[in-house]
Chains A and B, each alone.
Chain A
Amino acid sequence: MDEQGCPRCKTTKYRNPSLKLMVNVCGHSLCDNCVDLLFIKGSGACPECGTAIRRSNFRYQIFEDAQVEKEIDIRKKILKDYNKKEEDFDSLREYNDYLEMIETIIYNLANGIDVEDTRRQVDSYKKENKDAIRKNQSKLSRDEEYLEMLIEEEEKTSSLRKQMIHDTEVLEKNKKRREKEALIDELMFSDMSAADILTMHKTTARPAEAVDNSSFQPSQTTRYSTGIQRGQQSGLIPMPMTEANPVYHYEDLELERCGPIYPTIDDIIEVGYLSNVRAASESERAGGFEATLCCQRALQDALGGLFYYPELAGQSTSVM
């Protein structure tokens, strides 16, 4: 893997295969000893290209080709901002054009073509779509969700299977132990000869080994507890259609008054009950209370139940 040596202290690579290469944003690599030496201060210049870089930007190199590392770095940064998913576009063609634009930007930045223009383009895009970027940051595209679901399913199946194997093993062990104990008990307390007991146990033990090979089917959890189908991306659940019930018809409420008829609002105003009631203040009227309403309530209280005679309650069933 490390046929390339550290460009600075060249020999040390071959002598010490455990030394790791670290790479920075400019795409040039250094072994970690050299990084320590050169960047004690925290920032300095790259020994090959002279760009100013900081120590904190050094990462361990995963890929052999430093050019690829640099490109991936740039790509990750750009994709953090250009994070629209396929669902945000109206047609496939637009989405593909958008993807191609991203590729061109990354290609230019990685190969040093039109760097200034590209950076300006990126900055202007960032400014325009700041909200959209923030909103999309945590959203997973449909594809990624599908993959996640598959991975979860696999993990669950394998853990269930392991659990089942473990359970069957435990059962087996317990059964064996119990049989042995039963055998010993019989030998101790029974009157039959030892050979008979042994043969009897052997013959009963053999058929009891009927392994129930119920085929292992993990119950497919396809529904969440709320009844939403798993894996469904659209949040629209069709409203449960009730059969055509007879349309609801409003009927006036029948008040059961055991007394004379209550005066209506108009009566109250005409007849003059209002003069015996305090007028509503500004704040009370703003709240919706009018003097007529309170008067009506009081009158209802007074007149209701006047015809009620306890001794006649058992006889009469009709109410006025």
Chain B
Amino acid sequence: MKLNIDGLLVYFPYDYIYPEQYLYMLELKKSIDAQGHCALEMPSGTGKTVSLLSLVVAYMKANPLEVTKLIYCSRTVPELEKVVEELRNLMAFYEKETGQPQEILGLALSSRKNLCVHPEVSQNRDGKTVDGQCHQLTASHIRQRYKHDPSIPICDFYEEFDAHGRDTPLPAGIYSLDDLKEYGRLKNFCPYFLARYALLHANVIIYSYYYLLDPKIAEQVSKELAKKSVVVFDEAHNIDNVCIESMSVKMSKRTLERCSANIETLDRHIKRVKDGDEKKLREEYHRMVEGLREANEQRETDVILANPVLPDEILQEAVPGTIRNAEHFVSFMKRFLEYMKSRLRVQHVVSESPPSFLKDCAQKICIDRKPLRFCAERLASLMRTLELTDLHDFSALTLLVNFATLVSTYAKGFMLIIEPFDDRTPTISNPVLYFSCMDASIAIKPVFDRFQTVVITSGTLSPLDMYPKILDFRPVTMATFTMTLARICICPMIVSKGNDQVAMSSKFEVREDVAVIRNYGTLLVDMCGTVPDGIVCFFTSYVYMVRIF
């Protein structure tokens, strides 16, 4: 049906609309008009997604210069798929009503694991191995070598995309992850790089929070997104957790042991390159001396290690003299690693702030703050120079380097906690170091600053006035909507035993039990028999729903 929301013509794909959906759309329009942020709460099951999508799409059609993109962020891949389906439904409705084909391009983006079509690489279960193998096939130095030596394996899909994919833009339509894979197989393009390239001219982008919030990933993927976009964070009640997680680091003793193995490997590589062809190391050294930042037009396949701090905290200076040389850098990391090992040898809980940690570090091993800030960059540049492709091997060292960069950059809002025992094994000595971010607003600040409208929405966002404080933003509107019900139809009841007196619970440990499943099934069937009209049933997960049926 067609609606008039405050002067805007909105196509709504269903015949009936709930009053709370209408109010939701009104509030949303208000904040998009004001070009400000908002926080809206509406219970799950009331059609939040479709009202949001229909309003923003209508706004984009009516004012294409004011809002150029819709960026929809959700948490899990099934949720992304659901949103794509709703969007497809909406677009079909538009076509039916107006009779014209739509020019909107909408697509979902996920990690390489979900989008790879290469027959061997896509067989891997683990996301990190897929990333590593993909990188081995598509890194720019490997492709350089392929030009001289055709026997080196490379990814055909990427080559095809690189040659032709950028010229033929993705035709208008809505693409889910499977659609992208289909298209990729058809045209022999790599779906992942195709999607990343298409982000620039897509109208609707659907991906996960981390692509916007985690500084390591956001720099690569979301750097060029336009300012005039509407960003929606769905299921935002745990967004502060996501922000905090993306800036926190956890290290155990095992990580440090693997780190020392990594450093040995790095040392060996350096010696090998030194014996073979010193030119590359010397070039890198000169670049460090001149203070040239890594050329910004980095090939998209090459960025393997990103800086874990926010872009405006990265010092735009030359790398300090203490870590210019590759060997000096390795011994620098060795010292830092030894210091971390000694810190973890405590018998009681220690909680410290970054400045006092840095002071102690400077006293014991004579390492200042400035070289630590450049650790991540230096390691990235070194790995590129040594042409090391499998990042998976160096994950422990990457973690240590990220920790070093974070602790030296941020003086406030972080806390260092060293525990001698792990939670689950309170007697076995297993020291763990947590570097936690205490301030959720740090990671999300660039998002609020950069985009003109950010919508925080969820089914459970109470207390609502806490979110502007936690995330440190000033919303134009904050509103809570309730479900309207035709008659009294909420009767809270807790069922703890089934018909055959088996204790029923959807606790994770017992929910897979056959008796429990059978009991839930019988309960549902019996309720359906007694309750008039329809029933809406919320399951713990889609998988569980299938099990019960």
Contact = CB atoms under 8 A, between A and B. Distances in A.
A154 B353 contact: yes
Contacts of A99: 320-322
B293 to A, nearest CB: 14
Contacts of B325: 100, 103-104
A68 B338 contact: yes
Nearest to A63: B338
A107 interface: yes
B29 interface: no
Identify the interface centre among B355, B359, B362: most chain A CB within 10 Å of its CB. Answer: B355
A143 B369 contact: yes
Interface string B91-124: 0000000000000000000000000000000000
Interface stretch (B150-158, B339-347, B534-542): B339-347
A151 interface: yes
Given A76-B366, A151-B359, A64 B324 contact: no
B342 A63 contact: yes
A71 interface: yes
Contact of B324 (A68, A96, A110, A154): A96
B335 interface: yes
Contact of B342 (A62, A96, A101): A62
Nearest to B355: A150
Contacts of A62: 342, 364
A98 interface: yes
A71 B335 contact: yes
A95 B366 CA distance: 17
Interface in A65-96: 65, 68, 71-72, 75-76, 79, 92-93, 95-96
B341 A64 contact: yes
A1 B370 CA distance: 31
B338 A65 contact: yes
Interface in B391-406: none
Interface string A21-55: 00000000000000000000000000000000000
What's the dominant secondary structure at chain B's contact region? helix
Contacts of B335: 68, 71-72
A147 B334 CA distance: 24
A147 B328 contact: no
A95 B321 contact: yes
Contact of A100 (B291, B321, B345, B369): B321
B26 interface: no
Interface string B344-377: 0100000001011011001011101110000000
Contact of B320 (A1, A68, A96): A96
B327 interface: yes
Contacts of A79: 366
A154 B355 contact: yes
B411 interface: yes
A256 interface: no
Given A62-B342, A92-B318, A147-B355, A72 B365 contact: yes
B321 A147 contact: no
Nearest to B354: A150
Contacts of A212: none
Contacts, number: 81
A104 B325 CA distance: 9
A68 B328 contact: no
B15 interface: no
Contacts of A100: 321-322, 324-325, 328
Nearest to A100: B321
B366 A151 contact: no
A92 B317 contact: yes
Contacts of B331: 71, 107, 110
B79 to A, nearest CB: 38
A97 B321 contact: yes
Contacts of A75: 366
Interface residues of A, number: 33
Nearest to A94: B321
A200 to B, nearest CB: 36
Interface string A130-147: 000000000001011001
A91 B319 CA distance: 14
A172 interface: no
Contacts of A95: 321
Interface string B269-287: 0000000000000000000
A148 B317 CA distance: 24
Nearest to B344: A1
A262 to B, nearest CB: 74
A99 B323 CA distance: 9
Contacts of B364: 62, 72
Contacts of A144: 359, 362
Contacts of A98: 321
B352 to A, nearest CB: 10
A101 B291 CA distance: 17
B368 A143 contact: yes
B294 to A, nearest CB: 18
Given A143-B368, A150-B355, A151-B356, A107 B327 contact: yes
Contacts of A92: 291, 317-318
A103 B322 contact: yes
A130 B289 CA distance: 29
A103 B321 contact: yes
B338 to A, nearest CB: 4
Nearest to A95: B321
A110 B332 CA distance: 13
Contacts of B368: 141, 143
Contacts of B345: 1
Nearest to B366: A75
Identify the interface centre among B321, B341, B345: most chain A CB within 10 Å of its CB. Answer: B321
A151 B355 contact: yes
A132 B341 CA distance: 36
Nearest to B322: A99
A64 B321 contact: no
A96 to B, nearest CB: 4
A150 B322 contact: no
A92 B338 CA distance: 29
Contacts of B328: 100, 103-104, 107
Contacts of B342: 62-63
Nearest to B319: A96
Contacts of A102: 321-322
B321 A68 contact: no
Nearest to B412: A150
A147 B327 contact: no
A72 B318 CA distance: 25
Nearest to B411: A150
A75 B365 CA distance: 9
Contacts of A76: 366
B32 to A, nearest CB: 34
A148 B358 CA distance: 10
Interface in B158-217: none
Contacts of B339: 63
Given A68-B338, A107-B327, A143-B369, A148 B359 contact: yes
18 contacts: A63-B338, A64-B338, A68-B334, A72-B335, A72-B365, A72-B366, A95-B321, A96-B324, A98-B321, A100-B322, A100-B324, A101-B321, A107-B328, A144-B359, A150-B353, A154-B353, A154-B355, A154-B356
Given A68-B334, A100-B328, 13 more contacts: A63-B339, A63-B341, A63-B342, A64-B341, A65-B338, A71-B331, A79-B366, A97-B321, A99-B321, A99-B322, A102-B321, A144-B359, A148-B359
Instruction: Give me the 4 closest cross-chain CB pairs, A-B, nearest first.
Output: A99-B321, A96-B321, A100-B321, A63-B338
